[in-house]
Copies of this chain bind each other. A is one copy, B any other.
Amino acid sequence: VGELVQIGDVAEAVGLSLRTIRYYEEMGLVRPSSRSKGGFRLYTDADVARLLVIKRMKPLGFSVDDMRDLLAVRDQLDTPATTAPERAALQERLQVFRSATAARILALQDELVNAHRFADELLHAAEEHTAAGG
């Protein structure tokens, strides 16, 4: 629960490569809460949770910049010192992500239709040439 885990365990747990995790750190998304005496990255549960957020955002087409932005909003909302007007502004930034996600959902549905059509085309192309040679 209050465990510190190394990058390898984290990678296996969240399904990201070591390289990817280090890359996100390099880009300012997730910093391990501490390091071992020898320099090994040590992650808390909260750190892992951040990586999971990222992993969810990735297939939605969000860029690293977008992810950093959303994580920052989350951090601010979780900060008690954040004032009400500040929270209102953060809500608007969340709204942008909701819109983008909604748009992405529509795009995915389009792609699904497209994929089915393509599969059909592949079948027809196959049949045309196997049956009566048209």
A46 to chain B, nearest CB (A): 15
The dominant DSSP class at the A interface is helix
Q: Does A129 have its Cβ within 8 Å of any Cβ on chain B? A: yes
Instruction: Determine the interface band of chain A, counting residues with CB < 8 A from chain B.
Output: 20 to 34
* Contact A115 B125, beta carbon cutoff 8 Å: no
Counting every copy of the chain, the complex holds: 2
* Contact A108 B118, beta carbon cutoff 8 Å: no
A102 to chain B, nearest CB (A): 7
Interface residues of A in 66-109 (CB under 8 A from B): 74, 77, 87, 90-91, 94, 97-98, 101-102, 104-105, 108-109
Q: Does A112 have its Cβ within 8 Å of any Cβ on chain B? A: yes
